[in-house]
Amino acid sequence: GNSVTQMEGPVTLSEEAFLTINCTYTATGYPSLFWYVQYPGEGLQLLLKATKADDKGSNKGFEATYRKETTSFHLEKGSVQVSDSAVYFCALSDDGGSQGNLIFGKGTKLSVKP
């Protein structure tokens, strides 16, 4: 079945460091891919998405490119801030992008130190 695998955390970085959180997926068809963020004490928020191969999603300095050849959707940010401390979830849409059920990875906790 479809699945998402994320790098395990926690990840601890210093402010202004470069961030990469790896995400790979297994899916039939052509899923849409998402990154969600969960700040402490808050609900999940959509960070960015990509709906087809080679699409790049971006938001708030974060980027991820849909790589069909490597079945990956790695999250990157060039310079993290303390306010980026949160749990990040990679997810795929199970029905080809028409907003079906989402399958989530286990999440990666990021802590950014000043």
Partner 1 sequence: DTGVSQNPRHKITKRGQNVTFRCDPISEHNRLYWYRQTLGQGPEFLTYFQNEAQLEKSRLLSDRFSAERPKGSFSTLEIQRTEQGDSAMYLCASSPRYGPDGYTFGSGTRLTVV
Options 15-23, 60-68, 77-85, 90-98: segment touching partner 1 (CB under 8 A): 90-98
CA dist., res. 110 & res. 97, Å (int): 28
Taking the CA atoms of 2, 30, 68 and 52 in sequence, report the sign of the dihedral they define.
negative
Q: Does 51 bind partner 1 (CB under 8 A)?
A: yes
Please state the closest distance from residue 34 (CB atom) to partner 1, in A: 6
CA dist., res. 65 & res. 1, Å (int): 23
Q: Does 34 bind partner 1 (CB under 8 A)?
A: yes
- Closer CB to partner 1, residue 18 or residue 39? 39
Q: How many residues bind partner 1 (CB under 8 A)?
A: 23
- Closer CB to partner 1, residue 16 or residue 54? 54
> Footprint of partner 1 on this chain (CB under 8 A)?
4, 32, 34, 36, 42-46, 49, 51, 89, 91, 93, 98-99, 101-107
